[in-house]
C-alpha cells in the first residue's frame, strides 16, 4: 500500500481527532502534515501525535497532499483554499468538516481547477471544548458523518475519501446539499443558538444570579452544554446558513408563543399536551436512531 499524504488545515478538535484516528489505524502508512492558527496549537498537535509535521507555511503543508482536510471555521475555508491552490498537485482532493455546505461549494466551484476535486463532508460530532488539546481518536466512532455527493467529484475521488473516513468508525451517510443545510439547521444550528439564549437569559436575571446558581444542576448543564462551543465557528455557521437558521428560529418563536399563550391563559391541558407530544416524539427518535448512531 502506497503511503497516503494527508494535510489537515486547522488542527483543532475535529482535525486533531481525525489525525489521531487515522494514525491509530494506518500508522506508518499515512503521513500527516498540519497547520493551525497559532504556534502553540501546532506544537500541541505535534506533541499529541495528531500530525507528523506542522508548519505555518501553507505550501510546505499541502504541496505533497493526496487529500486536504479543511477544518477551519467556514468563512476561513475559501480564503485558505485560494492560498493553497498554487501548491496543490494535480489530482489532489479537498474535503472538509464544515457545518454548512452550500456556501463552501458556491465558493469552491468558482476557483477550483478541473484537476482538483472537492468531496463535501460534515462529521456530526464534537465537544463543548475546542482546540487540539481536546482531540480524541474515538470522537467519530458511531457518529453520523455526512458526505455530499453532488459536487462533481469523480467516483474514484469520492471512494478514496470514503475509504479513509471508514477507518474512523463513523457511520457514513449521504445527503444533497440543500437538504443537508436545512437538516443541519434543525438538528445542530438552532439548538446551539437556543443553548446560548438560555445562558443569556440567566445572565439577564438581574439580582437573582447568585440564587439561580445555587439551583443549577444537571438539567441546566445538559441543556446549555453546547453553549461552550467555539464562538468563531458558530458565528461563521450563522453567517453561511442564514435562510434555514432564521426560518427555523422564527418557527421556534411561534412554538414558544403558543406555550406562552397556554400558560398565560392557565390552559393546563394544552401545556400538558405540549410536553407529552414532545416526550413521545423524542423517545421515538431515540429508539429509531440508537442502533445507527451514538447521539
Q: What is the DSSP string of 222-240?
A: HHHGGGGS-HHHHHHHHHH
pLDDT given at position 2: 79
Q: Give the CATH number of domain 4-175.
A: 3.40.50.720
Q: Same fold for the domain at 4-175 and the one at 179-289?
A: no
Which ranges constitute the DSSP H helices of the chain? 13-26, 39-48, 58-62, 74-84, 102-108, 155-166, 177-184, 190-203, 209-215, 218-224, 231-240, 242-264, 268-289
pLDDT at residue 294 in the model: 56
pLDDT for the residue numbered 127: 80
For each of the chain's 295 residues, which pLDDT tens digit applies? 579 999 999 999 999 999 999 999 999 999 999 999 889 999 999 999 999 999 999 999 999 999 999 999 999 999 999 999 999 999 999 999 999 999 999 999 999 999 999 999 999 998 878 889 999 999 999 999 999 988 989 999 999 999 999 999 999 999 999 999 999 999 999 999 999 999 999 988 877 888 888 888 788 888 999 899 889 999 999 999 999 999 999 999 999 999 999 999 999 999 999 999 999 999 998 888 776 655 5
Element (H, E) at 123: strand 117-123
- Report the predicted TM-score, pTM, of the whole model to 2 decimal places: 0.89
Q: Which homologous superfamily is 179-289 in?
A: 6-phosphogluconate dehydrogenase C-terminal like domain (1.10.3660.10)
| Residue 217: per-residue pLDDT | 78
Q: What residue spans define the domains of the chain? A: 4-175, 179-289
Give me the pLDDT at residue 293, please. 59
- Whether 93 contacts 153, CB under 8 Å: yes
Q: At what angle do helices 39-48 and 13-26 cross, to 10 degrees?
A: 30
pLDDT at res. 292: 63
Neighbouring residues of 197: CB distance < 8 A, sequence distance ≥ 6: none
Look at residue 130 in the predicted model and tell me its pLDDT. Answer: 81
Cell numbers placing 215: 439551583
Which residues have a Cβ under 8 Å from the Cβ of 104 and sit 6 or more positions away? Answer: 74, 77, 78, 96, 98, 120, 240
Collapsing DSSP to helix, strand or coil, 265 comes out as coil
Q: From 164, 128, 185, select the one nearest 13 (Cα to Cα).
A: 128
Q: How many C-beta atoms lie closer than 10 Å to residue 145's C-beta?
A: 21
- Cell 507528523 maps to which residue? 52
Q: How many CB atoms lie within 10 A of CB 210?
A: 8
- What pLDDT is stored for residue 218 in this prediction? 80
- Contact (Cβ atoms closer than 8 angstroms) between residue 249 and residue 193: yes
pLDDT at 266: 98
Amino acid at each position: 500500500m502506497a503511503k497516503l499524504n494527508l494535510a489537515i488545515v486547522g488542527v483543532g478538535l475535529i482535525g486533531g481527532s481525525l489525525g489521531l484516528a487515522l494514525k491509530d489505524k494506518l500508522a506508518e502508512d499515512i503521513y500527516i502534515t498540519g497547520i493551525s492558527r497559532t504556534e502553540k496549537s501546532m506544537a500541541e498537535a505535534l506533541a499529541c501525535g495528531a500530525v507528523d509535521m506542522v508548519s505555518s507555511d501553507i505550501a510546505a503543508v499541502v504541496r505533497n497532499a493526496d487529500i486536504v482536510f479543511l477544518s477551519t471555521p467556514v468563512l476561513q475555508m475559501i480564503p485558505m483554499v485560494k492560498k493553497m491552490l498554487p501548491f496543490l498537485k494535480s489530482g489532489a482532493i479537498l474535503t472538509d468538516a464544515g457545518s454548512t455546505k452550500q456556501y463552501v461549494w458556491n465558493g469552491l466551484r468558482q476557483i477550483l481547477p478541473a484537476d482538483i476535486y472537492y468531496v463535501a463532508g460534515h462529521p456530526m460530532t464534537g465537544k463543548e471544548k475546542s482546540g487540539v488539546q481536546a482531540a480524541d481518536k474515538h470522537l467519530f466512532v458511531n457518529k453520523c458523518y455526512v458526505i455530499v455527493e453532488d459536487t462533481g467529484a469523480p467516483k474514484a475521488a469520492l471512494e478514496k475519501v470514503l475509504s479513509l473516513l471508514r477507518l474512523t468508525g463513523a457511520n457514513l451517510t449521504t445527503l444533497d446539499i440543500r437538504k443537508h443545510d436545512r437538516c443541519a439547521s434543525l438538528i445542530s444550528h438552532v439548538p446551539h443558538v437556543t443553548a446560548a439564549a438560555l445562558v443569556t437569559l440567566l445572565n439577564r436575571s438581574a439580582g437573582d444570579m447568585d440564587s439561580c446558581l445555587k439551583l443549577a444542576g444537571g438539567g441546566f448543564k445538559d441543556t446549555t452544554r453546547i453553549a461552550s462551543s467555539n464562538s468563531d465557528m458558530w458565528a461563521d455557521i450563522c453567517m453561511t446558513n442564514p435562510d434555514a437558521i432564521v426560518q427555523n428560529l422564527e418557527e421556534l418563536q411561534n412554538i414558544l408563543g403558543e406555550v406562552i399563550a397556554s400558560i398565560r391563559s392557565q390552559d393546563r391541558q394544552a401545556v400538558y399536551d405540549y410536553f407529552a407530544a414532545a416526550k413521545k416524539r423524542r423517545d421515538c427518535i431515540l429508539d429509531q436512531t440508537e442502533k445507527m448512531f451514538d447521539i
